[in-house]
Amino acid sequence: MAHTALLPTPADVVVARIESAPFGENTYVLSRRGRPECLVVDPGFEPAAVIDWIKNHGLTPVAILLTHGHSDHIAGNAALRDRWPTLSILIGRDDAAKLTDPAANLSAAFGMAIVSPPADQLLSQGDTLDLAGLAITVLEIPGHSCGHIVFRVDGMHPGLVFGGDVLFQEGIGRTDFPDGDFAALAAGIRRELYTLPDETVVFPGHGDTTTIGHERHHNPFVSEARPPRQI
């Protein structure tokens, strides 16, 4: 059963985390306090819990933001689109094909055939979004998947990053999938994330939140203190 929690954030932002089975994937519902719109990041295998949270809080989703196209991060797309037919789906340009290909999104390997509606907008490095009263910048960090992106919410203190399966609390995303690349992942983390302020909060695709400063100094896979270690 999905587990839902409100997470600490800057005063005018609300972030709910819905953790869904079977992979402990984190779906996030992000909104600006006092506004009716919200964003859904990476809807997983328990979309009913996401829909219930949105309805119970009087919100209307305007977009699904996908960090990448693996099945545990896209499984809820169809159900959310059925509930809100005008809901836009946004994903990195190089992961868009995974939405409609069960082999590429890895669901076929688990005996499933997850298929999402196709993307409405393809995203690239440096793209900026103005959605639900939030200013968001797209950062490309391939390595867990070839088209993985993260979403940096600008104008907040501390800053917020919705990072998918790039950087975890003292961990990183797997790189042993067909389009994985550890060197690219480590380089992207150093280039795009470790240059952010230490207090920046990272909302990962699995596990608990962390901060850029903590990971820069303590992540055993990619840290400032030692060369990156292959997993």
**What are the pLDDT digits (tens) for 21-39?**
999 999 999 999 999 999 9
Take residue 128 and report the two structure tokens written for it: 């900026």
Take residue 107 and report the two structure tokens written for it: 């669901």
223 in a domain, yes or no? no
155 in a domain, yes or no? yes
11 in a domain, yes or no? yes
227 in a domain, yes or no? no
* First vs last C-alpha separation in the chain: 31
Host domain of residue 57: 3-218
229 in a domain, yes or no? no
CATH code of the domain in which 49 resides: 3.60.15.10
Q: Which of 150, 165, 146, 73 is nearest to 116 (CA)?
A: 73
**What are the pLDDT digits (tens) for 167-224?**
999 999 999 999 999 999 999 999 999 999 999 999 999 999 999 999 999 999 997 6
* pTM given for the model: 0.94
Is the distance from CB of 41 to CB of 27 less than 8 angstroms?
yes
199 in a domain, yes or no? yes
Q: Measure the CA–CA gap between 151 and 141, rounded to whole angstroms.
A: 11
36 in a domain, yes or no? yes
225 in a domain, yes or no? no
How many domains is the chain built from?
1
